[in-house]
């Protein structure tokens, strides 16, 4: 009996030591919905994945190294829960060091500052299915939406100083010969009570690492104020490619608390300057998110996409629209976070 007690005590001591030295968390999101989507003569009705958040499975952990320093890692992968494709692709993968005094340094496949910006200053929290702003950025080829994770990257997040947090990420393409693609993202955010504002900038040198050489420069501004009865927000984005005039998009949004949920509103306008307005577009969304608990949300929403005469922007489920056709989408779904 005494030997059994000693063995149990030894096992508990070893387990406790391991737990004290490191910490690993399994987390994720499962988001599924039923969606009706139409555009021109095309229609879709069925179950889809990722209505308000992309479904994902992740692992993150840390180890205390002493003197306020931690070793950290994150491995996170996208999921398509409506098909048998399983793990779709990596969303982020990195290892790094975190210091209370000096900030966080990461290396790997790292989110640009655009990822948090897109969620914090969008009335629909950057929902890929419903957000008018998200759809306009994606349709216009803005890198702050279509390329918000950098490969072969090193990233830095500063501690907060007087309400200001700074971020930077630099990444390289996989090319082994010149021209090699290089990406740089810089971001700054200021928070003071109910007000917050941010600016971020993307530079891409030698897009795709191909000839002829093309560069991209993109700047985004955002601001939000929480009036308690509603949070209002607005954004402006400007993009310049080597061989095009400057393209712009702007958006306004709102989150209005109602009961155990919130009404979400979003309007966005895409101005493709090089095409004399013929490839412009606009979109608007009204949605309701209802929280059953801190982790489980029911949602429903309607999104309208309006194309100019030569534009044929579309939704994921209805591709290949005729120029000038508009698209409409209605969805109802559920998201669970763990």
Give 128 or 65, the one with higher predicted confidence: 65
Q: pLDDT tens digits, residue range 228-243? A: 999 999 999 999 988 7
The dihedral formed by the CA atoms of 29, 43, 252 and 323, expressed in degrees to the nearest 10: 130
Over residues 7-21, mean pLDDT: 44
The per-residue pLDDT for 21 is 55
Give 139 or 2, the one with higher predicted confidence: 139
**Measured in Å, how far apart are the chain's first and last C-alpha atoms?**
41
Contact 311, 323 (CB under 8 A): yes
Q: pLDDT tens digits, residue range 100-154? A: 999 999 999 999 999 999 999 999 999 989 999 999 999 998 988 877 899 999 9
The dihedral formed by the CA atoms of 123, 127, 129 and 131, expressed in degrees to the nearest 10: 20
The per-residue pLDDT for 213 is 79
Q: pLDDT tens digits, residue range 169-199? A: 999 988 777 778 899 999 999 999 999 999 9
Mean pLDDT (the chain) is 90
The per-residue pLDDT for 86 is 64
Contact 233, 224 (CB under 8 A): yes
**CA 338/CA 93 separation, integer angstroms:** 19
Residue 2 pLDDT > 60? no
Q: How confident is the model at residue 6 (pLDDT cuts 50, 70, 90)?
A: very low
Q: How confident is the model at residue 212 (pLDDT cuts 50, 70, 90)?
A: confident
Residue 291: CB atoms within 10 Å: 15
pTM of the model: 0.86
CATH number of the 23-36+51-337 domain: 2.40.160.10
CA atoms within 13 A on the CB side of 20: 7
Give 107 or 12, the one with higher predicted confidence: 107
């Amino acid at each position: 009996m005494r030997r059994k007690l000693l063995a149990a005590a030894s096992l508990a001591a070893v387990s406790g030591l391991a737990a004290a030295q490191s910490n690993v968390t399994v987390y994720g999101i499962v988001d599924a919905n039923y969606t009706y989507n139409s555009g021109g003569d095309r229609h879709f009705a069925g179950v889809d994945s990722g209505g308000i958040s992309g479904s994902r499975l992740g692992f993150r952990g840390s180890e205390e190294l002493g003197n306020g320093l931690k070793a950290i890692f994150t491995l996170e992968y996208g999921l398509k829960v409506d098909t048998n494709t399983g793990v779709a692709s990596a969303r982020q993968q990195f290892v790094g060091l975190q210091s209370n005094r000096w900030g966080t340094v990461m290396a790997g496949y790292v989110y640009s500052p655009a990822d948090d910006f897109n969620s914090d200053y969008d009335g629909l929290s950057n929902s890929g299915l419903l957000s008018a702003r998200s759809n306009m950025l994606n349709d216009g080829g803005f890198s702050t939406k279509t390329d918000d994770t950098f490969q072969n990257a090193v990233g830095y997040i500063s501690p907060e100083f007087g309400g200001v947090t700074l971020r930077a990420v630099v990444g390289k393409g996989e090319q082994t010969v010149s021209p090699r693609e290089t990406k740089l993202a810089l971001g700054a955010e200021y928070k003071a009570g109910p007000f917050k504002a941010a600016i971020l900038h993307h530079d891409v040198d030698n897009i795709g690492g191909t000839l002829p050489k093309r560069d991209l420069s993109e700047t985004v501004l955002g601001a939000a104020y929480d009036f308690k009865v509603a949070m209002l927000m607005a954004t402006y984005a400007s993009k310049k490619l080597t061989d095009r005039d400057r393209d712009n998009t702007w958006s306004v949004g709102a989150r209005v608390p109602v009961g155990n949920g919130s009404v979400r509103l979003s309007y966005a306008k895409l101005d493709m300057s090089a095409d004399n307005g013929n490839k412009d577009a606009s979109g608007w969304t009204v949605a309701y998110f209802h929280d059953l608990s801190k982790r489980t949300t029911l949602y429903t929403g309607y999104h309208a996409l309006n194309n100019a005469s030569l534009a044929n922007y579309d939704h994921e489920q209805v591709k290949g629209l005729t120029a000038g056709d508009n698209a409409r989408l209605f969805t109802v779904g559920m998201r669970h976070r763990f």
